[in-house]
Amino acid sequence: MGKQKIDRLLAQIKDNQQRDIQNAAAIFTVAQAAVNELDKQAGNSLSAKTLSLAPIQLTKADLINRYGSYNGCRQAAKNAGIRFKRSPRWPQLIAAFNYIEACQTCVDEYIAQYPNPYLKGIKITLSLGT
Helix axes 90-113, 70-79, angle to 10 degrees: 20
H or E, element range at 63? helix 60-67
Contact in structure between 70 and 90 (CB atoms under 8 Å): yes
Cα distance between residue 51 and residue 62, in whole Å: 24
Torsion, Cα of 68, 98, 82, 113 (10° steps): 130
pLDDT the model gives residue 70: 95
Cα distance between residue 106 and residue 128, in whole Å: 14
pLDDT of residue 112 exceeding 70: yes
Q: What is the mean pLDDT of residues 52-57?
A: 70
Q: Is the pTM of this model over 0.85?
A: no
Contact in structure between 102 and 55 (CB atoms under 8 Å): yes
pLDDT the model gives residue 53: 65
